[in-house]
Amino acid sequence: MSAPAEAALDALRKALGDGLQSCSLDGGTLRLQVASASLHQAALHLRDADGLRFDYPGDLFAWDTGERFVVVYRLWSTTLSQTALLRVELEREGAAVASVTDIWPGMNWHEREVYDLYGIEIVGHPDAGDPTRMRILLPKDWEGFPFRKDYVPVFSGDPLHGPQETN
Amino acid sequence: MTAMQPAVGASTSSDMTINLGPQHPSTHGVLRLMVALDGEYVKSCRPVIGYLHRGLERMMAARPYRQSVPFTDRLDYCASLNSNLAISQAIERIGGMAVPERAQYLRVMLCEMNRIASHLIFFGTYAADIGATTAFLYAFRERERLLDLLEAYTGARLTYNWIRPGGVASDMPEGYAQAVCAFLDGFLKELDAYDTLLTKNPIFRVRTEGVGIISPEKAIAHGASGPVLRGSGVNIDLRRTEPYDAYPRMQFDVPVRTEGDCLARYLVRVEEMRQSARIIRQCLREMPEGEHWGKQPKVFRPAAGEAYSRTESPRGELSIYLVSDGTANPVRVRVRGPSFVHLSMLHELVRGVKVADMIAILGSLDTVLGEVDR
Amino acid sequence: MSLPPLRRPAPTRTGFECDRAFVAGQFAAGVAVLVAAIAVASALPRLPWRLVDPALILIGSHPVINALVKALTVTVFVTIHVIFLIWLERKFAGWMQARLGPMHVGWKGALQTIADAVKLLMKEDIIPTRADRVLFVVAPFLTFMPTLLTFMVLPFSETWVAYDFPLGILFVLAVTTNISLGTLAAGWGANNKYSLLGGARACAQVLSYEIPMAVAMLAVVTLEGTMSLTEIVKNQQHGWNIIAHAPVMIPAFLIFMVCGLAELNRTPFDLPEAESELVSGFHTEYSGMRFAFFYLGEFAANFFTAGLAVTLFFGGWMGPWLPAPIWFGIKTIAVVALFMWIKWTVPRLRVDQMMGFCWKLLVPASVVVFCATALWVMVAQP
């Protein structure tokens, strides 16, 4: 990675302090793990710093390891053709993460989907706090978050408005 | 703004809220747009999606890796082979499988054939959105011929399940190369005629020129990809910038238009069909002899880790991210579809335009709801 | 073993059910409109028949019977010829779109339209619960009746004309304007948002394009010095208008054609029923026989506009060897085919472009053509 990139990463380390949990580079892909409190700052830095310039919101998704949620931001730089995987681990209880929609407008629907499927609160999202507007793939009155490992489908009696039994 | 002029997006008593869809001729699937209209003008638009949500990602995560390929057929059902390719690549990367060179060429050929079929659907439906019904039938005639060819090879017309981790399911039938070449000869001639029918039509031009302009900065910030991004003057094609399979060995041009309007996106797609034909010919010409299928483990248990693939589907960047914990089933399969991202831009593009323009803009984004809702 | 009898739940009011009294009322409304039309037709200033009138010979000179028979003949002709026109349109579209069109009912699908008509007749009569029932029911007749009335003055030959009205063109202009009333009523009465938008578009469009169309027709009137359609044809004995007076009549014809397309709501001016935007526009909520009336009116207007173009510019029934009405038919079908050709080729305009095209281009152009015709009459015709 180029010298400005190294400088930018050093600046990021300095700015985040303990917030930056790990930072490694393998084969042109920058892998970062940050504390959820530092996420927004890190994201802004990744987009704006010289040598990083991750201007393209590639993807945003989460998964449930059983103990905690992992949220991954896949970023890309259109000018420097490099990828960054920005990772945040969240405790299951009261999982919340800052919205990056103000940094990359393209993350808006991805964040809604993360809320929809995993119930991770997106703090600062334009639709935050209103589940009927945050729900995106599921009906707005759906109860529960079906991609969580502990999600138990229950038949609500109405096949159109509620989870169905799987077998 | 004075009290007499309500802000854009604010609701007044003169507004009319229309639900465009989920059953509507031009939403191309089960998309619902909640549109607030002031006369003919769109004041705000909120897409409602999820009518086709089947939880494909979760279903894929509940099975062994290689069984998830058929599910990808149901993502972008206009270009199933491209989705097959994306999941196959992701699985190959997480399991460290190699793909024989001949299979790489076969994959590229199949994907480009599917790209033409998909763009033909766009061509036809876009013409129908603008109001020209005849181009629609011409496009479907060509697509029919192409689907016959794909059926002759893969046995299916829509959900192929043919590109699989490690290669492709079988080699080409005998005489297939000649049949494809014969099709391409006729197709390119017909394409010029169809293109003339729309591109040289002044009404088509006034309907699309300067409508739904996406600036390059906006396209990048929203994560637009494929023809939408290239129509805005950003020269990014994953077949070029992050080439995979046999693409590094292919000679082709990446069509880019700087206007960023509906016409630019249309022209990029039409030109891409010509380039796809070029790639298919190269594949057929340069395809090496050999296996179509790489060596594969009987039981597929990749080591714990993550891998992803980024591919250029006809609609844009289709990438699949796999997370493995060392068991036979993945922890997470994530599908990032281009249509999902493009549809999220719609509400900004249509604010303040007329109803007819909204349809033109929606059509030019070429979304497929199977991929949006997953 | 026998199954227990099915116990059906008591029928509930769905809002989509057939109201017998209302059907009767709607029939009465239809009859009333028809009677009114006949009354208007017979109340037209009666003229001395200068020409031999087959109807007069056959049915005598009683004015009321005469008018009734003529009204009936025109109505039957309009209904029957539309069956043929729809088949023609579908075949034409099939030919343009590299497909066959209807093939199964009758020779090459010739009876398909009749099958469709029967199907439409037998369909459930649906009036949306929250529609304005009076407007909803009257609207199809309001769009169809003016078209029917215009056929009264269309000269198929020197004698085959129901009323050789000396102010024929004025009559046509006055009557066709009322079509927009019907489309507006349909759009408003259905209480459907798509219909409302479609109705509003239709009204704006028809009223706007009426103006250049009228001015283009007035150019012909200036040239011929008469408003009678038969007189206009007779004056073309020594050459069709479009050839004899080409410098002014070709632009006039083009303006007339464009406006005709707009009046007929055909592409590129099919905004009132823009399928990809407004589902079906003003007739979204219509089905069954009411929908058929819109369809009937549309195709009849198609034939009439083409016939008017032939009368004004292409020498009407004039032609060698063949009988006059056949010549008229051939020419009219040719113009109808031109309409179809345009319809199946071009896309649709946007609403502001449609209005701009009319007011910024067609209206000034038609005035220029009108003035040029006046000059042409002064200069070229001593």
Predicted confidence (pLDDT) at residue B7 exceeds the cutoff of 60: no
Residue B8 has a pLDDT of 47
Question: What is the average pLDDT value for chain A, to the nearest integer?
Answer: 83
Chain A interface residues (partner B, CB cutoff 8 A) = 55-59, 61, 63-65, 72, 74, 78, 81, 104-109, 135-139, 146-147
Phi, psi of C145 (to 5 degrees): -60, -45
Label each residue of chain B as H, E or C: CCCCCCCCCCCCCCCEEEEECCCCCCCCCCCEEEEEEECCEEEEEEEECCCCCCCHHHHHHCCCHHHHHHHHHCCCCCCHHHHHHHHHHHHHHHHCCCCCHHHHHHHHHHHHHHHHHHHHHHHHHHHHHHCCHHHHHHHHHHHHHHHHHHHHHHCCCCCCCCEECCEECCCCCCCHHHHHHHHHHHHHHHHHHHHHHHHCCHHHHHHHCCCCCCCHHHHHHCCCCCHHHHHCCCCCCHHHHCCCCCHHHCCCCCCCCCCCCHHHHHHHHHHHHHHHHHHHHHHHHHCCCCCCECCCCCCCCCCCEEEEEEEEECCEEEEEEEEECCCCCCCEEEEECHHHHHHHHHHHHCCCCEHHHHHHHHHHHCCCHHHHHC
CA of C11 vs chain B CAs: smallest distance (Å): 28
Predicted confidence (pLDDT) at residue B329 exceeds the cutoff of 50: yes
CA of C7 vs chain B CAs: smallest distance (Å): 34
- Chains with 3+ CB–CB pairs under 8 A to B are A, C
Three-state DSSP class for residue C160: coil
Per-residue pLDDT of chain C (382 residues; tens, 9 = 90+): 455 554 555 444 444 344 455 556 656 666 676 676 666 555 544 444 344 455 555 555 666 776 777 777 777 888 888 888 888 888 888 888 888 888 888 788 888 888 888 888 888 888 888 888 888 888 888 888 888 888 888 888 777 777 777 888 888 888 888 888 888 888 888 888 888 888 888 888 888 898 999 999 989 888 888 888 888 888 888 888 887 887 888 999 999 999 999 888 887 888 877 777 777 778 888 888 888 888 888 888 889 999 999 998 888 887 777 777 788 888 888 999 899 888 888 888 888 888 889 999 999 999 999 999 988 888 876 5
Q: How far from B280 is each of B88, B106, B183, B286, C15, CA to CA, in Å?
A: 20, 9, 11, 10, 58
Question: What is the average pLDDT value for chain B, to the nearest integer?
Answer: 87
Cα(A8)–Cα(A51) distance, rounded to whole angstroms? 7
Please indicate whether, in this complex, the C-beta atoms of B58 and A146 are within 8 angstroms of each other: yes
Greatest pairwise CA separation for chain B in angstroms: 74
Three-state DSSP class for residue A93: coil
User: Strand A121-123 and strand B163-164: pairing?
Assistant: unpaired
The residues near B316 (Cβ < 8 Å, ≥ 6 apart) are: B224, B225, B226, B227, B228, B229, B338, B339, B341, B342
Three-point CA angle B193, B195, B199, nearest 5°: 130
Closest CA to C47 of C27, C67, C30: C67
Please indicate whether, in this complex, the C-beta atoms of B40 and C270 are within 8 angstroms of each other: no
Read off the CATH number of the domain in which B349 is found.
1.10.645.10
Q: Chain C: residue nearest B132 by CA?
A: C347
Residues of chain C positioned with their CB less than 8 A from the CB of B207: 347-350, 353
Write out the two tokens for C298: 């549309």
Chain B interface residues (partner A, CB cutoff 8 A) = 49-50, 53, 55, 57-58, 218, 220-224, 234, 236, 241-242, 308, 310, 317, 319, 321, 323, 325, 331-332, 334, 336, 340-341, 343-345, 348, 373-374
What percent of chain A is helix, strand and coil (3-state, nearest 5)? 30, 30, 45
Please indicate whether, in this complex, the C-beta atoms of B132 and C267 are within 8 angstroms of each other: yes
Q: Chain B: residue nearest C100 by CA?
A: B137
Residue B321 bridge partners (DSSP)? B308, B334
Cα(C264)–Cα(B326) distance, rounded to whole angstroms? 68
Residue B319 bridge partners (DSSP)? B310, B336
CA of A15 vs chain B CAs: smallest distance (Å): 24
Q: At what angle do helices C288-313 and C193-224 cross, to 10 degrees?
A: 20
pLDDT band at B1; cut points 50, 70, 90: very low
Alpha helices in chain A (DSSP H): 3-16, 39-48, 108-118, 131-134
What percent of chain C is helix, strand and coil (3-state, nearest 5)? 70, 0, 30
| B355 touching chain C per CB within 8 A | yes
| CB count in 10 Å sphere of residue C118 | 10
- When divided into structural domains, chain B yields a total of 1
Domain boundaries, chain A: 3-134
Residue A17 bridge partners (DSSP)? none
Domain range for residue B166? 56-373
Q: Chain A: residue nearest B323 by CA?
A: A63
The residues near A167 (Cβ < 8 Å, ≥ 6 apart) are: none
Alpha helices in C103-178 (DSSP H): 112-122, 133-150, 168-176
List the single residue in A61, A72, A106 with the smallest CB-CB distance to B223: A106
Closest CA to C332 of C320, C359, C358, C314: C314
Q: Chain C: residue nearest B211 by CA?
A: C350
List the single residue in A61, A108, A137 with the smallest CB-CB distance to B344: A108
User: Strand B316-324 and strand B332-336: pairing?
Assistant: antiparallel
Residue C30 has a pLDDT of 63
pLDDT in tens, B349-371: 988 888 889 989 998 998 888 88
Is the preceding omega at residue A126 within 30 degrees of 0, hence cis?
no
Residue B164 bridge partners (DSSP)? B167
Three-point CA angle C182, C188, C193, nearest 5°: 130
Write out the two tokens for B96: 């460290």
- C147 HSE (CA, 13 A, CB side): 32
Domain boundaries, chain C: 34-44+51-380
DSSP C234: H
| B368 touching chain C per CB within 8 A | no
Closest CA to C173 of C206, C214, C138: C214
| Burial annotation B234-260 (CB, 10 A radius, 16+ → b, else e) | bebbbbeebebbbbeebebebbbbebb
Which CATH superfamily, name and number, covers A3-134? NADH:ubiquinone oxidoreductase Nqo5 subunit (3.30.460.80)
Q: At what angle do helices C63-96 and C133-150 cross, to 10 degrees?
A: 100
Q: Does B27 fall in a domain?
A: no
Least trusted range by pLDDT, from A18-32, A77-91, B176-190, B281-295 = A18-32
- Which H or E run includes C222? helix C193-224
| C368 touching chain B per CB within 8 A | no
Closest CA to C48 of C156, C165, C155: C165
Closest CA to C365 of C266, C270, C253: C253
pLDDT in tens, A99-121: 999 889 989 999 999 998 898 98
